[in-house]
A and B are shown apart, each in its own frame.
Chain A
Amino acid sequence: MKALLLYRDRDFEPLHELSWSEEALIQDLELNTLFDAMALGDKFVRGVVDKAVLSGLRNDLETIIYRQDILKDCLKKPSVVREIYDLAVETITEERKIYGGVVRYPSSTLRRSMEALQLLVGMLKKLRQIADKHGSTFESAGFTRLFAMLQKELSDEYFDTVQDHLKELRFGGGVLVSAELGKGNKGTNYVLRKQDKKHGWIEWVLGAGQRPYSLHISDRDQSGAKALSELRDRGLNLVANALAQSDDHILSFFNMLRTELAFYVGCLNLHEQLVQLGEPTSFPLPVAQPNRRHSAIGLYDVCLALTMQQKIVGNDLNADNKELVIITGANQGGKSTFLRSVGVSQLMMQCGMFVPAEALCSNICDSLFTHFKREEDTTMSSGKLDEELSRMSDIIDSMTANSMVLFNESFAATNEREGSEIAAQIIRALVDRRVKVFFVTHLYEFAHGFYKKGLEHAIFLRAERHDDGRRTFKLNEGEPLQTSFGGDLYSKIFGANDYN
């Protein structure tokens, strides 16, 4: 039995270590804000959503749609989804409380397993009752399958069989074990056998008169008693193991259910907060590779909205069939925010979530990288440009043509000419390989150089600025300009009189 709520055909395995590029995404796109909002204080949810969101980059189109459908069901029936989640949490918590003993013997393992099994079976029954009650109101393939499976596998007859075993395993009639002669004629290969009344064991046991083939341990014989219980344990070893493992399997079903639902609970949490802020959300339209699509209406940086706790300015983008988006313009004009909104929305789309936009259509990419300007590294091991280039080289090592890279003021650690030349060399190659590039830059020579070429697959966006220096945080298409209006910032900080 599997939950299969994140993938149609396999479990979600959230245990992977974050790679360096994922660490960079979290840092550069400020994803922790997003994850915290999804978790809403639930540590378990927090531990699932980051991996679920980041691993989304490996999803195919089908998986994205599969999850979108499930999420739509969740948004329709949030209380049922939360009820199932809570049931899974309760099961796991209660199971953990069952005492297992300090030293492990097959007999103690058996005792604990039987108690745990009693609990788990009860919870499975409750789960099936939820399926009975609400199953028909869910539409997604994922939930439909889950509920149907619960009803099919967990029939009343099945629960009866389990109870029979739990009774038999108390071994009222003694433990029957078969054995063979092993090395040195020592008994081996002990196998627990089912006592079959037809075989006349009962008569054999109860048969009066002489007992030629029996052995009796006297009450004073302590080592004999120990030997006897050891022998009994040999018989019970396998069945205790089978039962304990069954417990584990059932428990891991609940764990999987909890883990996979945690992602959707996170989505529900986020959705509720965005609705409260009055921010729009929509289900995006993912497009398969090798198409190049990227258009959006009202695309905003969800992390900024969550941090500011207010509705923020969204941007429109029309970059279908483009590989290169170069963004120039005013300082603090919203360039970085825009870049982040592109990255975060891409991630959210690929993991099957709704996106922070009125509408979004984008092609799926194999991997997403950020190459943002970093603080001077303190290890003294390499210069800043050296560090940037080494990061770039790492990215190139792990990317495919269907990747997307977000650059934020990269290669500015040297003079403009060198920086531009380095940037141009790299970007030209990336674009020729059809890697999708968003590049925020002040490198005029670089940006303008590309502009002059009039590339078919490039567009140029500029952060807007009114004549009085006010920013609108809107980006429009436009030729890169030579100044980034640093003077504005200077005068804002030092006072207008000081400027000019």
Chain B
Amino acid sequence: MTFHSILFDIRGDSIGEEPSEAPDFFVDLNLDQVVDAITASRRDYDLKPFFYMTLSNIDTIKYRQAVMQDLEQKTLFEYLELFARKMRAMREHLVQVDRLFHKYQKEAWFLDAVEIYCDAVQGLVQNLNLVDMESRGLLTFHEFLSNYARSRRFTSLVTETKKLKADLSTVRYCLLIRQNSIRVRKYDDEIDYSADVEATFEKFKIGAVQDYRVELPSGTTMNHVEEGILDLVARLYPDIFSTLDDYCARNSNYLDETIGVFDREIQFYLAYLDFIARLKRAGLKFCYPRLTDNNKEIYVEEGFDLALAHKLILENTPVVCNDFFLKDQERIFVVSGPNQGGKTTFARTFGQLHYLACLGCPIPGSGAQVFLFDRLFTHFEREEDITNLHGKLQDDLVRIHHVLEHATPNSLIIINEIFSSTTINDSVFLGNRILEKISELDLLCVCVTFIVELASFNEKTVSVVSTIVPDNPALRTYKIVRKPADGLAYAISIAEKHGLTYDRVMERIKE
């Protein structure tokens, strides 16, 4: 087995052109927020393209799931983070090399960059020996890395680097600063005078006092006086510095390309796991879903909206989870019920979970089976767009028409409040037409609507409603339950609150 890429199974999808734009539905599903949060602390890696391409091959998804599962071992995760930190430090060093001017300074930074690289590789090889891994991706990578670390090219790089570092650390010198001149010579065991003075006054020492040390400029560059001194020091130690020159000339291409690519790609996993770790600590569950491409029965237990959960955890607010499933003929969730009861959240959850599953990621929930879709479409209410000269209703119809043109039986459609800008009769009529089309395609769909009539459209539709606490309608439960849409529960509780139920009104009207 040769190692190819940690993101792509050699037998499955291959690395194509990396997309630079997020898919159209990202904003509607709040996936943009999720991906922003996942990649926020790892901007340098340019990870977003990885989150923009879904996979169409179940093997590749399984390949990633296995890597992800391996990485759930805390120690392995930490080892790779450590490797990543070192590689970042190495790159920062190379940036310095380009920025600096003085030859011996550039060379010293380059030497340190190589030292960090060697340490990163050796450390990772050693650490990977300590953990059990099962994924093909990580196993083949480990094998590749071990071979590399044993190669002559790498071992001699390590030896040379160490020797040179050790030599440079032996350099010690003295400066005598007097008026306008500085003299340099090798250090010769002169007494530390500050310590001498300190000892004289030792007897007065009482507790902690102010620190009078001045923070002197400590930038990485040197002024011309320092450069002049360094040149003199180099003349005091000629052998060491000529070895340094030679070393840098020979080793400019030290970095292995495969390792460079791995360093970026592994971040896809680390970033995602890091992101969900916070949510897990708050008690939320994640699972590796089973993906099907021939069976449209799906289920999710304890699913939730990842973007919302991320926000709520920061505010220390509990997150409500929902179970849902579609079986047999069922294809379409029709979501109705009180506003702000979690309808849109439910729709987003459905979309997010499918999308993330097709990236090979663990998804919100304690257990799930989801469908490997070919395309995902969303139709969310938009602000009226004055540039296209259509009315809003027309705009709605144009957009949904476009969706239905391109959708296949293996697509996913998520509709949030459609046709709200017309009369209720129109809405019912148009809604029915659209559901007919969707039914014909036999695809999976979530349709959030205020049109109660759509809830019992046919055998493919499942009615789910958002719920409220009867005694306190102001309190939202965000629970979505399978239930016929009667449009009553909410109205009755509002009436109770105002003392306008039948019994209450009878009571209040005294004879």
A interface residues, Cβ below 8 angstroms from B: 1-2, 11, 104-106, 109, 153, 161-162, 165, 168-169, 173-181, 183-187, 191-196, 199, 201, 204-205, 211-219, 223-225, 227-228, 230-235, 237-246, 248-250, 252-253, 256
Are A238's CB and B225's CB within 8 A?
no
Are B108's CB and A185's CB within 8 A?
yes
Which of A214, A230, A233 makes the CB contact (< 8 A) with B181? A214
| Residues on A with beta carbons closer than 8 Å to the beta carbon of B175 | 176-179, 231, 235
Are A204's CB and B183's CB within 8 A?
yes
Which of A153, A175, A184, A233 makes the CB contact (< 8 A) with B178? A175
Are A224's CB and B229's CB within 8 A?
no
Q: Who on chain A is nearest to B217 by CB?
A: A230
The smallest C-beta distance from A206 to any residue of chain B, in angstroms, reads 11
Whether a CB of chain A sits under 8 angstroms from the CB of B397 is: no
CA distance A246 to B195 in the complex (A): 12
Encoded as 1 (CB less than 8 Å from any A CB) or 0, chain B from 311 to 339 comes to 00000000000000000000000000000
Are A183's CB and B112's CB within 8 A?
yes
| Residues on B with beta carbons closer than 8 Å to the beta carbon of A224 | 223-225
The smallest C-beta distance from B278 to any residue of chain A, in angstroms, reads 35
Interface majority SS (helix, strand, loop, mixed), chain A: helix
The smallest C-beta distance from A378 to any residue of chain B, in angstroms, reads 36
Are A215's CB and B228's CB within 8 A?
yes
Are B216's CB and A173's CB within 8 A?
no
The smallest C-beta distance from B338 to any residue of chain A, in angstroms, reads 39
CA distance A244 to B203 in the complex (A): 15
| Residues on A with beta carbons closer than 8 Å to the beta carbon of B192 | 191-194
Contact A228:B225 (CB < 8 A) given known A192-B193, A215-B181, A245-B210: yes
Q: Who on chain A is nearest to B172 by CB?
A: A180
Q: Which 8 A-B pairs have the closest CB atoms?
A: A174-B178, A246-B201, A193-B190, A227-B225, A249-B204, A238-B194, A185-B108, A244-B212
Supply 14 further A-B pairs (C-beta < 8 A) apart from A175-B177, A186-B105, A196-B191: A168-B193, A175-B178, A180-B172, A180-B173, A185-B105, A217-B181, A217-B225, A225-B180, A228-B225, A231-B182, A233-B214, A233-B216, A235-B177, A244-B210
CA distance A233 to B177 in the complex (A): 11
| Residues on B with beta carbons closer than 8 Å to the beta carbon of A233 | 214, 216
| Residues on B with beta carbons closer than 8 Å to the beta carbon of A235 | 175, 177
Whether a CB of chain A sits under 8 angstroms from the CB of B171 is: yes
| Residues on B with beta carbons closer than 8 Å to the beta carbon of A219 | 180
| Listed A/B pairs (5) with beta-carbon separation below 8 Å | A169-B197, A178-B173, A181-B171, A184-B109, A185-B230
Stretch at the interface among B122-130, B232-240, B348-356, B499-507: B232-240
The smallest C-beta distance from B37 to any residue of chain A, in angstroms, reads 35
Are A231's CB and B225's CB within 8 A?
yes
Q: Who on chain B is nearest to A105 by CB?
A: B214
The smallest C-beta distance from A166 to any residue of chain B, in angstroms, reads 10
| Residues on B with beta carbons closer than 8 Å to the beta carbon of A2 | 206
Are B197's CB and A213's CB within 8 A?
no
Whether a CB of chain A sits under 8 angstroms from the CB of B389 is: no
Are B190's CB and A199's CB within 8 A?
yes
Are A227's CB and B226's CB within 8 A?
yes
CA distance A195 to B191 in the complex (A): 8
| Residues on A with beta carbons closer than 8 Å to the beta carbon of B204 | 1, 246, 249-250, 253
Interface majority SS (helix, strand, loop, mixed), chain B: mixed
CA distance A405 to B182 in the complex (A): 74
Which of A168, A212, A216, A241 makes the CB contact (< 8 A) with B211? A241
The smallest C-beta distance from A108 to any residue of chain B, in angstroms, reads 9
| Residues on A with beta carbons closer than 8 Å to the beta carbon of B222 | 186
CA distance A153 to B213 in the complex (A): 28
CA distance A403 to B203 in the complex (A): 40
The smallest C-beta distance from A13 to any residue of chain B, in angstroms, reads 10
Encoded as 1 (CB less than 8 Å from any A CB) or 0, chain B from 152 to 196 comes to 000000000000000011011111111111111101101111111
CA distance A181 to B168 in the complex (A): 7
Are A179's CB and B172's CB within 8 A?
yes
Are A184's CB and B213's CB within 8 A?
no
CA distance A180 to B230 in the complex (A): 10
Are B225's CB and A249's CB within 8 A?
no
The smallest C-beta distance from A451 to any residue of chain B, in angstroms, reads 55
Are B216's CB and A230's CB within 8 A?
yes
| Residues on B with beta carbons closer than 8 Å to the beta carbon of A238 | 194, 213
CA distance A193 to B185 in the complex (A): 13
Q: Who on chain A is nearest to B100 by CB?
A: A184
CA distance A492 to B22 in the complex (A): 93
Which of A104, A169, A223 makes the CB contact (< 8 A) with B223? A223
Are B228's CB and A191's CB within 8 A?
no
Whether a CB of chain A sits under 8 angstroms from the CB of B198 is: yes
The smallest C-beta distance from A226 to any residue of chain B, in angstroms, reads 8
| Residues on A with beta carbons closer than 8 Å to the beta carbon of B194 | 191-192, 238-239, 241-242
Whether a CB of chain A sits under 8 angstroms from the CB of B386 is: no
Whether a CB of chain A sits under 8 angstroms from the CB of B283 is: no
CA distance A246 to B180 in the complex (A): 31
Q: Who on chain B is nearest to A229 by CB?
A: B177
| Residues on B with beta carbons closer than 8 Å to the beta carbon of A253 | 204, 206
Contact A249:B216 (CB < 8 A) given known A174-B178, A176-B174, A178-B172: no
Contact A246:B183 (CB < 8 A) given known A176-B176, A192-B192, A238-B213: no
| Residues on B with beta carbons closer than 8 Å to the beta carbon of A223 | 223-224
Encoded as 1 (CB less than 8 Å from any A CB) or 0, chain B from 234 to 254 comes to 011000000000000000000
Which of A183, A185, A186, A227 makes the CB contact (< 8 A) with B224? A227
CA distance A224 to B223 in the complex (A): 8
Which of A174, A195, A215, A256 makes the CB contact (< 8 A) with B229? A215
Contact A178:B184 (CB < 8 A) given known A186-B220, A228-B177: no
Are B193's CB and A194's CB within 8 A?
yes
The smallest C-beta distance from A153 to any residue of chain B, in angstroms, reads 6
| Residues on B with beta carbons closer than 8 Å to the beta carbon of A218 | 180
CA distance A191 to B193 in the complex (A): 8
Contact A242:B201 (CB < 8 A) given known A176-B174, A178-B187, A215-B228: yes
| Residues on B with beta carbons closer than 8 Å to the beta carbon of A242 | 194-195, 197-198, 201
The smallest C-beta distance from B80 to any residue of chain A, in angstroms, reads 26
| Residues on A with beta carbons closer than 8 Å to the beta carbon of B96 | 184
Are B180's CB and A216's CB within 8 A?
yes
Which of A1, A168, A237 makes the CB contact (< 8 A) with B214? A237
Q: Who on chain A is nearest to B103 by CB?
A: A185
Are B212's CB and A193's CB within 8 A?
no
Contacts of B465-510 to chain A: CB distance below 8 A: none
CA distance A245 to B226 in the complex (A): 30
Are A176's CB and B190's CB within 8 A?
yes
Contact A256:B206 (CB < 8 A) given known A185-B168, A228-B177, A234-B216: yes
Are A205's CB and B216's CB within 8 A?
no
| Residues on B with beta carbons closer than 8 Å to the beta carbon of A162 | 200
Are A187's CB and B229's CB within 8 A?
yes
Q: Who on chain B is nearest to A230 by CB?
A: B216
CA distance A213 to B176 in the complex (A): 11
CA distance A234 to B214 in the complex (A): 9
Are B183's CB and A165's CB within 8 A?
no
The smallest C-beta distance from B375 to any residue of chain A, in angstroms, reads 53
CA distance A244 to B191 in the complex (A): 21
CA distance A245 to B214 in the complex (A): 13
Contacts of B281-327 to chain A: CB distance below 8 A: none
CA distance A447 to B226 in the complex (A): 87
